[in-house]
Structure 1
Amino acid sequence: MQIRTSMHILCRALVLASLLVPAASAADTLPKSRAALFADDEPAATPAEAGGREALFGDDLPARPAPVEAPVSRESLFGGDDLQSSAVAAAGTLAISSPPAVKGFVQNRMAYTWPKPSHWSEMMNHFDLSAQGRLSSNVKWKLGARVDYDAVYSLTDFYPQSVENDQRFNFLLRENYLDISADSWDFRLGRQQIVWGEMVGLFFGDVVSAKDVRHFVLPEFEILRIPQWAARAEYFKDDFHAEFVWIPVASYDNIGKPGAQFFAYTPPPPPGFQTFFLNERFPSSSLSNTNYGLRLSILRDGWDVAAFAYSSMSAAPTFYRQIVMNPQPTVVYQARHKRIDQFGSTLAKDFGSVVLKAEAVYTRGRGFELSNFANLSDTDGVVEQNVLAWVVGLDYNEIADTRINVQLFQQHIFDRNPDIIPESNENGYSLLVNHKFGDKVEAQALWISSFNRSDWMLRPRISWNFEKNWRAAIGVDIFNGPPLGFFGRYDDSDRVYTELRYSF
């Protein structure tokens, strides 16, 4: 019912926008924004396959402005207003009258978990379809949806019924929005992806996105991220960019159900206690629970620097606990979301064969679960902490067809409570090596590890573009570390997988 209502509202908005937008004059049809000038929604180059490093890790630098061409005719040098206006108007009319651009993909992923009890853990099928077009010279639209069906829950009975019901079949609205351009302003209204930062395999400055973490962070980012229902206003002036975001009804991380392969971690209960999970509690739909933020960026001498402030009901939940002694000693958990404030900065600089990237985010009021059960009278088992997280990365591509990425990162907890699991300084690093063998075969390996303990994840993968629009891949996901480690908690989830994808 909610999907039908959302689609009905979006369709009414499309019709209303087409009636309200006046016919464009010649001046109106000239590019007046970054999106119009550089065609952000229509990349000039064919996008990389999702299995490639650009699509998987999303590490492309902002597109450089096209050089200004010198006048090549008397009309272009001295005016030629009538001819130019006619050409621009004709181009605008052609774009509006053109049929919508339709694209998508069909993908199958088969994963087998080998630690005992070994089992099939994923037989996922994705069908993604989107279309985009124009209502006028300054109004664009996009509609998108994805259907997921995981046959492992139909063909096996390894997982609990609640997990089967949650992960067998899903219909997901993807990006569904209107784009409206007006002089130096761009407005986007609807369900959309808002990405403020992205590092290789890590999320630091990407504070707005919600994520589907039912398969941890293993899927491609295009599948992992959940769009937000948002109103976004962007202002462009030379090399300056300002962006304001308001999210009236937020999306939250999808953590799945207890008993799933990668269900969110909670501290183990004391001996003699059992664990019980209540249904997740989401914030009510009220004005006080809306999310909002501001991001400012500038490109100066090749340095792309941005700063942002964002206040939100945390997309990632915190598990609150209650101790019940009768009739059976039980630790009762419930996932909840509370407001946090985040302030951060990102930068990128291209030095030729080396690209520098960095992100830093300060989070005020982040909730941490207490691991100490000594005080059974504790009311909720949660403590709030202020956290600074930062990451610095170098991308090296001097070797032909080879990319090497190295990152160092840290999470610092101010005035750390001694009863939480993370240490005051959690330090780590990552290494990515990617190499292309001709035009069809690509191999890569991603390693992410902690300096604090032997806690790591290794993801080698080989992909083969055997036909146009077709890609096959095989890979391994290996986790290792202590039970309380970020990766070690999934030590029994090592798996081998295959993928087959057709894009259109």
Structure 2
Amino acid sequence: MEPSPMRPKRLLPLLLVLGLSAGAATAADEGLDDLFDLDADPAAASGADQASGPRVSGHAEFGAAYTWPDDGHWSKLRGRLELGVGASLGPRSRYKLSARADVDAAYDLEDGYYPRAVRRDQRSGFMIREAYADFGTGDWEFRLGRQHVVWGEMVGLFFADVVSARDLREFYLPEFEALRTPQWAVRAEHFGEDTHLELLWIPVPSFDEVGKPGADFYPFPLPAGTRVKERDTSATLSNTNWGLRLSRLIDGWDLAAYHYRSRDVSPTLYALDGGTRFELRHDRIQQTGFTLSKDLGSLVLKGEAVYTGGRSFSTTDPAARYGLHDSDTLDYVVGLDIPVRDVWRFNLQYYERVFYDHERLMPNDRHEGGMTFLVNRSFGDALEAELLYVASLNRSDYMLRPKLVWRIAPEWRGVFGADLFGGRTDGIFGRYDERDRVYIELRRWF
């Protein structure tokens, strides 16, 4: 089948991006410290123990993506603005407020491709990103309000980072900083000489955004237009999340362990009335995890493991209630980061999920393994090339992500890349084989 010719109106967004990129290249040069300080915690600034006036920072971004297999179409033409303000209120007290708004013209331009529910869900958005106050006393620090809580971070995928909700309407493709959704939380931290204790309570949890059936990266195999209800989680004490985390530095090993009880940030699809109705629910789960990090000369070894109880998984067993089978799981990952001569960086990871109560009619194997490989090459201070490959070892499906980053000026950045999927259609990556796309992003910090 020959590709359909690109309509003139579809060329306009691409020409706009190219024009913006050319204009950004003439921006005035500024110090790199100004760039990296924009999103810094106010406490990190000198004189943080003294009251200071509000400081406004943020960024504006335009991103465009074109999906081309079969019926090529624009899948993103999004303008985004994020603004924040923060200030120190005195000794060991400060606050931060930030919000993000975006508008995506792709869902109006491609109104014949996306179902109405998808267009309504993804054409615009607004989110309070952070809204917290900090204060401290003795060896304790407290943070109250909407905040990021990151308990783990590996390359390409999520493992021990169990607290953060995520906007998965673009799968795992955006930068994790933008993909994570903060939580309304009360957090207390105790700092010892080599030990850090963290206590966390989330009275009103946030959950993953997965979109609507017919969206490019909807995670469940349902036809476009299928009506799916999401069960509301009542604001009761039994539905709150809580956890604790203890970390310690021992002989150069950065070790941490945690326990977390919550409503699952990831929804489970329930088939009701014999599969004629569908509902997303956030089941009550408990997770116990462990992370480690160790410098081995110029190399860095990292690992994470999470045991989860209380989740259910899809099965084709006709006797299974709601089309689900309960199983505890263990997720673990081990990775090695290898810098070479300050211009090359290599990262290799192996990960696996083990289903302890696996049964033969589940679509996955008892042991689901995979690997990631990342190579990054810097060309001076302005240009950087990167290739990320993520693959399942059970089904040979994969995700391949080449990109080029151009630091046009300290306050400007351009990115051009591609997101490619392949392999068996029952795999986590192969299911998006018809969602290959090329994209460009332009961001300006201020």
Normalized against structure 2, the TM-score is what? Answer: 0.88
- Note the C-alpha offset of 1:411: 0.5
Q: 1:99 aligns with which of 53, 57, 71?
A: 53
Q: Per the alignment, in what secondary structure is the counterpart of residue 74 of structure 2?
A: strand
Match of 1:491 among 429, 433, 443: 433
**Structure 1 Cα separation of the partners of residues 255 and 226 of structure 2:** 46
Could you say what the CA RMSD is over the residues aligned between the two structures, in angstroms?
2.1
**1:136 Cα deviation from its structure 2 partner:** 1.7
> 1:195-234 to 2 correspondence within 5 Å?
195-234=150-189
Partner in structure 2 of residue 351 of structure 1: 296
Counterpart of 1:384? 326
Instruction: Return the letter of the residue paired with 1:165.
Output: R
Where 2:316 maps in the other structure, the secondary structure is: coil
Partner of residue 341 from structure 1, selected from 286, 298, 316 = 286
Contact 2:115/2:225 (8 A) holds in 1: no
For the residues of structure 2 that align with 1:91 and 1:427, how far apart are their CA atoms?
Answer: 49
Q: Does 1:308 align with 2:258?
A: yes
Specify whether residues 92 and 128 from structure 1 end up closer, same or farther in structure 2 by C-alpha distance, changes over 3 A only. closer
The answer to whether residue 96 in structure 2 is matched with residue 142 in structure 1 is yes
Q: Is the 8 A contact 2:141 2:190 kept in 1?
A: yes
Where do 5+ consecutive residues of structure 2 fail to align? 1-31, 40-45
Q: Does 1:193 align with 2:168?
A: no
1:475-497 Cα offsets, whole Å, 9 max, x none, are 00000111110001111000000
2:185 is the alignment partner of 1:243: no
CA distance in 2, matches of 1:92, 1:170: 34
Q: Which amino acid in structure 1 is aligned with residue 375 of structure 2? A: V
Q: How does 1:314-325 map to 2 (within 5 A)?
A: 314-324=264-274
Q: Contact (CA 8 Å) 1:276, 1:331: kept in 2 or not?
A: no
Distance 1:114 1:422 in 2: 29
Identical columns (%): 47
Whether the aligned pair in 2 keeps the contact of 1:455 and 1:487 (CA below 8 Å) is yes
Q: 1:385 to 1:132 in 2, by over 3 A?
A: same
Residue 237 of structure 2 corresponds to 287
Q: Give the secondary structure class of the aligned counterpart of 1:174.
A: strand
String of CA shifts for 1:141-170, please: whole Å, max 9, x gaps: 000000011111122212111111111111
Q: Secondary structure at the match of 2:230?
A: coil
The 5-angstrom pairing of residues 70-469 of structure 1 reads 91=47, 95-96=50-51, 98-157=52-111, 158-266=113-221, 276-324=226-274, 331-372=276-317, 375=318, 378-469=320-411
Shift of 1:323: 4.3
Distance 1:210 1:389 in 2: 18
Q: State whether residues 275 and 332 of structure 1, in contact with CA within 8 Å, keep that contact through their aligned partners in structure 2.
A: no
Higher fraction of strand? 2
SS in 1 for 2:85: strand
* Distance (Å, rounded) in 1 between the aligned partners of 2:102 and 2:394: 38
Distance 1:323 1:464, change over 3 A: same
> For residues 323 and 182 of structure 1, what CA distance do their matches in structure 2 show?
55
Q: Give the SS at the match of 1:222.
A: helix
Q: Which runs of 5 or more residues in structure 1 are unaligned? A: 1-43, 56-89, 325-329
What SS does the aligned partner of 2:97 have? strand
> Matches of 1:293 and 1:92 in 2, distance apart?
29
* Letter matched to residue 280 of structure 1: E
Query: Is contact 1:275–1:333 with CA below 8 Å preserved after alignment?
Result: no
